[in-house]
Amino acid sequence: MNSFQEKSLQRFADTNKNRARFLIKCPDQQGIVAAVSHFLHRHNANIVESNQYTLDPAGGEFFMRIEFVCHNLENKREELENDFGAIADHFNMDWKLMFVEDMKNIAIFVSKEIHCLLELLWEWQSGDLMGNISLVISNHETAREIVESFGIPFYYIPANKNIRHEVEQKQKQILKENHIDVIVLARYMQILTPDFVEDFENRLINIHHSFLPAFVGANPYKRAYERGVKMIGATSHYVTNDLDEGPIIEQDIERVSHAHNEAGLKKIGQSIERRVLSRAVKWHLEDRIIVHQNKTIIF
Protein backbone atom coordinates (compact mmCIF):
# COMPACT_ATOMS: atom_id res chain seq x y z
CA MET A 1 0.00 0.00 0.00
CA ASN A 2 1.45 3.35 -1.01
CA SER A 3 0.97 6.72 0.58
CA PHE A 4 -1.79 7.87 -1.82
CA GLN A 5 -3.83 4.88 -1.00
CA GLU A 6 -3.35 5.32 2.72
CA LYS A 7 -4.53 8.91 2.53
CA SER A 8 -7.51 7.92 0.41
CA LEU A 9 -8.51 5.22 2.85
CA GLN A 10 -8.26 7.62 5.75
CA ARG A 11 -10.33 10.21 3.89
CA PHE A 12 -12.86 7.53 3.02
CA ALA A 13 -13.15 6.39 6.63
CA ASP A 14 -13.55 9.95 7.88
CA THR A 15 -16.25 10.79 5.37
CA ASN A 16 -18.25 7.62 5.74
CA LYS A 17 -18.27 6.84 9.44
CA ASN A 18 -21.92 7.79 9.88
CA ARG A 19 -23.18 6.99 6.43
CA ALA A 20 -25.47 4.15 5.34
CA ARG A 21 -27.71 3.12 2.44
CA PHE A 22 -31.03 1.38 1.99
CA LEU A 23 -31.70 -0.58 -1.20
CA ILE A 24 -35.42 -1.37 -1.45
CA LYS A 25 -37.60 -3.30 -3.89
CA CYS A 26 -41.33 -3.86 -3.39
CA PRO A 27 -44.69 -3.76 -5.18
CA ASP A 28 -45.64 -0.17 -5.96
CA GLN A 29 -48.27 1.20 -3.59
CA GLN A 30 -49.17 4.48 -1.99
CA GLY A 31 -47.25 5.66 1.03
CA ILE A 32 -43.87 3.95 0.59
CA VAL A 33 -41.80 7.11 0.28
CA ALA A 34 -43.75 8.74 3.07
CA ALA A 35 -43.05 5.79 5.36
CA VAL A 36 -39.35 5.53 4.58
CA SER A 37 -38.71 9.24 4.84
CA HIS A 38 -40.72 9.42 8.04
CA PHE A 39 -38.63 6.55 9.47
CA LEU A 40 -35.38 8.38 8.72
CA HIS A 41 -36.79 11.62 10.10
CA ARG A 42 -37.69 9.84 13.37
CA HIS A 43 -34.13 8.51 13.71
CA ASN A 44 -32.62 11.96 13.11
CA ALA A 45 -31.03 10.77 9.88
CA ASN A 46 -30.39 13.26 7.11
CA ILE A 47 -30.99 12.13 3.52
CA VAL A 48 -27.91 12.73 1.36
CA GLU A 49 -29.02 11.14 -1.88
CA SER A 50 -32.30 9.55 -2.81
CA ASN A 51 -33.37 7.82 -6.00
CA GLN A 52 -36.48 5.94 -6.86
CA TYR A 53 -38.00 4.29 -9.88
CA THR A 54 -41.37 2.75 -10.58
CA LEU A 55 -41.56 0.06 -13.22
CA ASP A 56 -44.92 0.66 -14.85
CA PRO A 57 -46.73 3.30 -12.74
CA ALA A 58 -49.96 1.38 -13.27
CA GLY A 59 -49.25 -1.16 -10.55
CA GLY A 60 -45.73 -2.42 -11.07
CA GLU A 61 -42.60 -2.69 -8.99
CA PHE A 62 -41.04 0.09 -6.93
CA PHE A 63 -37.28 0.55 -6.37
CA MET A 64 -35.43 2.89 -4.07
CA ARG A 65 -31.91 3.74 -2.98
CA ILE A 66 -31.54 6.18 -0.16
CA GLU A 67 -28.26 7.28 1.35
CA PHE A 68 -28.23 9.05 4.69
CA VAL A 69 -26.00 10.25 7.49
CA CYS A 70 -26.86 9.71 11.10
CA HIS A 71 -24.92 10.88 14.11
CA ASN A 72 -23.36 8.10 16.19
CA LEU A 73 -24.35 5.51 13.60
CA GLU A 74 -22.14 2.73 14.92
CA ASN A 75 -24.22 2.47 18.05
CA LYS A 76 -27.53 2.59 16.21
CA ARG A 77 -27.01 -0.11 13.62
CA GLU A 78 -29.10 -2.77 15.31
CA GLU A 79 -31.83 -0.37 16.34
CA LEU A 80 -32.23 0.89 12.75
CA GLU A 81 -32.39 -2.61 11.32
CA ASN A 82 -34.94 -3.77 13.85
CA ASP A 83 -37.18 -0.72 13.55
CA PHE A 84 -37.19 -0.85 9.80
CA GLY A 85 -38.44 -4.43 9.88
CA ALA A 86 -42.00 -3.39 10.59
CA ILE A 87 -42.12 -1.01 7.63
CA ALA A 88 -40.54 -3.60 5.39
CA ASP A 89 -43.12 -6.18 6.41
CA HIS A 90 -45.99 -3.79 5.85
CA PHE A 91 -44.93 -2.98 2.29
CA ASN A 92 -43.61 -6.46 1.54
CA MET A 93 -40.12 -5.13 0.84
CA ASP A 94 -37.03 -6.89 -0.35
CA TRP A 95 -34.40 -4.67 1.33
CA LYS A 96 -30.80 -4.25 2.45
CA LEU A 97 -29.17 -1.77 4.79
CA MET A 98 -25.49 -1.22 4.12
CA PHE A 99 -23.03 0.72 6.24
CA VAL A 100 -20.60 2.52 3.99
CA GLU A 101 -17.53 2.10 6.17
CA ASP A 102 -17.83 -1.71 5.86
CA MET A 103 -15.77 -2.01 2.68
CA LYS A 104 -16.48 -4.98 0.43
CA ASN A 105 -13.89 -7.73 -0.09
CA ILE A 106 -13.10 -8.31 -3.75
CA ALA A 107 -11.59 -11.30 -5.53
CA ILE A 108 -10.42 -10.81 -9.10
CA PHE A 109 -10.26 -13.78 -11.50
CA VAL A 110 -8.07 -13.37 -14.56
CA SER A 111 -6.47 -15.47 -17.31
CA LYS A 112 -3.76 -14.23 -19.69
CA GLU A 113 -5.02 -10.81 -20.78
CA ILE A 114 -4.40 -8.49 -17.87
CA HIS A 115 -5.48 -4.99 -19.01
CA CYS A 116 -8.74 -5.10 -17.02
CA LEU A 117 -6.97 -6.42 -13.93
CA LEU A 118 -4.40 -3.65 -14.27
CA GLU A 119 -7.05 -0.94 -14.48
CA LEU A 120 -8.67 -2.20 -11.29
CA LEU A 121 -5.31 -2.36 -9.50
CA TRP A 122 -4.41 1.15 -10.68
CA GLU A 123 -7.74 2.62 -9.67
CA TRP A 124 -7.44 0.88 -6.32
CA GLN A 125 -3.90 2.11 -5.82
CA SER A 126 -4.98 5.67 -6.64
CA GLY A 127 -7.69 5.47 -4.01
CA ASP A 128 -10.51 5.71 -6.56
CA LEU A 129 -11.89 2.20 -6.16
CA MET A 130 -13.12 1.89 -2.61
CA GLY A 131 -13.08 -1.80 -1.71
CA ASN A 132 -10.52 -4.32 -0.48
CA ILE A 133 -8.89 -6.18 -3.33
CA SER A 134 -8.27 -9.22 -1.16
CA LEU A 135 -6.77 -11.57 -3.73
CA VAL A 136 -6.36 -12.54 -7.36
CA ILE A 137 -6.98 -16.04 -8.72
CA SER A 138 -5.71 -17.10 -12.12
CA ASN A 139 -5.39 -20.20 -14.28
CA HIS A 140 -2.08 -18.78 -15.57
CA GLU A 141 1.03 -17.41 -13.93
CA THR A 142 1.03 -14.36 -16.22
CA ALA A 143 -0.24 -11.82 -13.72
CA ARG A 144 1.67 -13.02 -10.62
CA GLU A 145 4.58 -10.60 -10.86
CA ILE A 146 2.38 -7.54 -11.15
CA VAL A 147 -0.23 -8.58 -8.62
CA GLU A 148 2.36 -9.37 -5.98
CA SER A 149 4.09 -6.04 -6.61
CA PHE A 150 0.88 -4.48 -5.25
CA GLY A 151 1.17 -6.60 -2.11
CA ILE A 152 -1.91 -8.63 -3.05
CA PRO A 153 -1.96 -12.45 -2.69
CA PHE A 154 -1.97 -14.30 -6.02
CA TYR A 155 -3.33 -17.85 -6.33
CA TYR A 156 -2.40 -19.92 -9.35
CA ILE A 157 -5.03 -22.61 -9.93
CA PRO A 158 -4.68 -24.34 -13.29
CA ALA A 159 -8.07 -25.00 -14.84
CA ASN A 160 -9.74 -26.74 -17.73
CA LYS A 161 -13.19 -28.10 -18.38
CA ASN A 162 -12.31 -31.62 -17.22
CA ILE A 163 -11.32 -30.58 -13.71
CA ARG A 164 -13.88 -27.80 -13.29
CA HIS A 165 -15.32 -29.27 -10.10
CA GLU A 166 -11.97 -29.65 -8.31
CA VAL A 167 -10.85 -26.22 -9.42
CA GLU A 168 -13.97 -24.57 -8.08
CA GLN A 169 -13.63 -26.43 -4.76
CA LYS A 170 -10.20 -24.87 -4.31
CA GLN A 171 -11.49 -21.46 -5.36
CA LYS A 172 -14.49 -21.63 -3.03
CA GLN A 173 -12.22 -22.54 -0.13
CA ILE A 174 -10.07 -19.47 -0.73
CA LEU A 175 -13.09 -17.21 -1.25
CA LYS A 176 -14.62 -18.43 2.00
CA GLU A 177 -11.47 -18.04 4.05
CA ASN A 178 -11.14 -14.48 2.80
CA HIS A 179 -14.80 -13.51 3.30
CA ILE A 180 -15.12 -12.42 -0.32
CA ASP A 181 -18.21 -10.32 -1.07
CA VAL A 182 -17.86 -9.88 -4.80
CA ILE A 183 -15.95 -11.62 -7.60
CA VAL A 184 -14.79 -9.73 -10.67
CA LEU A 185 -14.09 -11.78 -13.79
CA ALA A 186 -11.50 -9.53 -15.41
CA ARG A 187 -11.15 -11.56 -18.62
CA TYR A 188 -11.24 -14.99 -16.95
CA MET A 189 -11.54 -17.46 -19.79
CA GLN A 190 -13.18 -20.40 -17.99
CA ILE A 191 -16.86 -21.26 -17.73
CA LEU A 192 -18.15 -21.55 -14.15
CA THR A 193 -20.55 -24.24 -12.99
CA PRO A 194 -24.18 -23.40 -12.16
CA ASP A 195 -23.48 -24.11 -8.49
CA PHE A 196 -20.68 -21.60 -8.35
CA VAL A 197 -22.71 -18.96 -10.18
CA GLU A 198 -25.64 -19.41 -7.83
CA ASP A 199 -23.46 -18.98 -4.77
CA PHE A 200 -22.49 -15.56 -6.06
CA GLU A 201 -25.78 -14.47 -7.59
CA ASN A 202 -25.62 -10.74 -8.39
CA ARG A 203 -22.13 -10.61 -6.89
CA LEU A 204 -20.23 -12.00 -9.88
CA ILE A 205 -19.30 -9.29 -12.40
CA ASN A 206 -18.01 -10.11 -15.88
CA ILE A 207 -16.64 -8.01 -18.73
CA HIS A 208 -17.57 -9.11 -22.24
CA HIS A 209 -15.54 -7.68 -25.09
CA SER A 210 -18.44 -6.64 -27.30
CA PHE A 211 -21.52 -4.47 -27.27
CA LEU A 212 -23.92 -7.23 -26.19
CA PRO A 213 -26.12 -8.70 -27.54
CA ALA A 214 -23.95 -8.22 -30.63
CA PHE A 215 -21.22 -10.86 -30.86
CA VAL A 216 -22.28 -13.14 -28.02
CA GLY A 217 -19.65 -15.84 -27.49
CA ALA A 218 -16.08 -16.17 -28.65
CA ASN A 219 -13.86 -13.91 -30.75
CA PRO A 220 -15.99 -10.76 -30.80
CA TYR A 221 -13.27 -8.52 -32.24
CA LYS A 222 -12.66 -10.89 -35.11
CA ARG A 223 -16.35 -11.03 -35.85
CA ALA A 224 -16.72 -7.25 -35.49
CA TYR A 225 -13.93 -6.81 -38.01
CA GLU A 226 -15.54 -9.25 -40.42
CA ARG A 227 -18.95 -7.60 -40.10
CA GLY A 228 -17.48 -4.16 -40.74
CA VAL A 229 -19.15 -2.39 -37.82
CA LYS A 230 -18.44 1.34 -37.39
CA MET A 231 -18.36 1.19 -33.59
CA ILE A 232 -17.10 -1.36 -31.12
CA GLY A 233 -18.01 -1.73 -27.49
CA ALA A 234 -17.78 -3.64 -24.26
CA THR A 235 -20.37 -4.81 -21.75
CA SER A 236 -20.14 -5.50 -18.05
CA HIS A 237 -22.85 -7.74 -16.62
CA TYR A 238 -23.67 -9.99 -13.70
CA VAL A 239 -23.04 -13.60 -14.57
CA THR A 240 -25.95 -16.00 -14.84
CA ASN A 241 -26.06 -19.52 -16.21
CA ASP A 242 -27.03 -18.27 -19.67
CA LEU A 243 -23.73 -17.37 -21.32
CA ASP A 244 -23.44 -13.59 -21.94
CA GLU A 245 -27.12 -13.17 -21.09
CA GLY A 246 -26.93 -11.89 -17.50
CA PRO A 247 -28.18 -8.44 -16.38
CA ILE A 248 -26.21 -5.68 -18.11
CA ILE A 249 -24.61 -3.17 -15.75
CA GLU A 250 -22.75 -0.88 -18.13
CA GLN A 251 -21.80 -0.57 -21.78
CA ASP A 252 -19.70 1.83 -23.76
CA ILE A 253 -18.52 2.17 -27.34
CA GLU A 254 -16.02 3.98 -29.53
CA ARG A 255 -15.99 4.83 -33.21
CA VAL A 256 -13.82 2.75 -35.52
CA SER A 257 -13.36 2.80 -39.26
CA HIS A 258 -12.40 0.63 -42.20
CA ALA A 259 -8.81 1.56 -41.42
CA HIS A 260 -8.75 -0.55 -38.23
CA ASN A 261 -7.75 -4.14 -38.62
CA GLU A 262 -8.62 -6.79 -36.04
CA ALA A 263 -5.60 -5.93 -33.87
CA GLY A 264 -6.55 -2.26 -34.01
CA LEU A 265 -10.11 -3.02 -32.93
CA LYS A 266 -8.78 -5.10 -30.07
CA LYS A 267 -6.49 -2.33 -28.83
CA ILE A 268 -9.32 0.22 -28.85
CA GLY A 269 -11.65 -2.35 -27.36
CA GLN A 270 -9.34 -3.02 -24.47
CA SER A 271 -9.46 0.61 -23.40
CA ILE A 272 -13.27 0.43 -23.50
CA GLU A 273 -13.25 -2.82 -21.48
CA ARG A 274 -11.05 -1.16 -18.86
CA ARG A 275 -13.39 1.73 -18.21
CA VAL A 276 -16.63 -0.21 -18.52
CA LEU A 277 -15.57 -2.84 -15.99
CA SER A 278 -14.15 -0.24 -13.67
CA ARG A 279 -17.43 1.72 -13.65
CA ALA A 280 -19.49 -1.42 -13.06
CA VAL A 281 -17.32 -2.48 -10.13
CA LYS A 282 -17.49 0.97 -8.55
CA TRP A 283 -21.29 1.10 -8.86
CA HIS A 284 -21.50 -2.32 -7.23
CA LEU A 285 -19.24 -1.18 -4.40
CA GLU A 286 -21.41 1.90 -3.90
CA ASP A 287 -24.58 -0.25 -3.77
CA ARG A 288 -26.03 1.55 -6.76
CA ILE A 289 -27.36 -1.55 -8.55
CA ILE A 290 -30.64 -3.39 -8.09
CA VAL A 291 -31.30 -6.46 -10.22
CA HIS A 292 -34.85 -7.12 -11.35
CA GLN A 293 -35.91 -9.71 -13.92
CA ASN A 294 -32.55 -9.94 -15.63
CA LYS A 295 -32.14 -6.17 -15.86
CA THR A 296 -30.37 -3.67 -13.66
CA ILE A 297 -31.65 -0.47 -12.16
CA ILE A 298 -28.66 1.82 -11.63
CA PHE A 299 -29.13 4.60 -9.13
Residues in contact with a copy of itself by CB under 8 A are 2-4, 28, 30-31, 33-34, 37-38, 40-41, 44, 46-50, 52-54, 56-57, 69, 114-115, 118, 122, 126, 128, 145-146, 149, 211-215, 227-231, 233, 247-253, 257-259, 261, 267, 271, 275, 294-298
**Closest distance of CB 132 from a copy of itself, Å:** 20
Give dist(CA 51, CA 63) in Å, integer. 8
Quick one: 48 or 86, whose CB is closer to a copy of itself? Answer: 48
Helix 262-285 / helix 220-227 crossing angle, nearest 10 deg: 130
Between CA 62 and CA 80 the distance in angstroms is: 22
Give yes or no: 244 in active site.
yes
Provide the minimum distance between the beta carbon of 52 and a copy of itself in the complex, in angstroms, as a whole number.
6
Distance of alpha carbon 187 from alpha carbon 110, whole angstroms: 5
The minimum distance between CB 172 and a copy of itself, in angstroms, equals 29
CB nearer a copy of itself, residue 41 or residue 90? 41
Beta bridge partners of 261: none
To a copy of itself, the closest distance from the beta carbon of 247 in angstroms equals 6
DSSP state string for 75-101: GTHHHHHHHHHHHHHHHT-EEEEEETT
Q: Which position among 14, 28, 242, 244 bears the catalytic label? A: 244
Query: Residue 57 burial (CB < 10 Å; 0-12/13-18/19+)?
Result: exposed
Given the complex with a copy of itself, which of 188 and 283 has the nearer CB atom? 283
Cβ count near 48 (within 10 Å)? 12
- Please identify every residue annotated as catalytic: 244
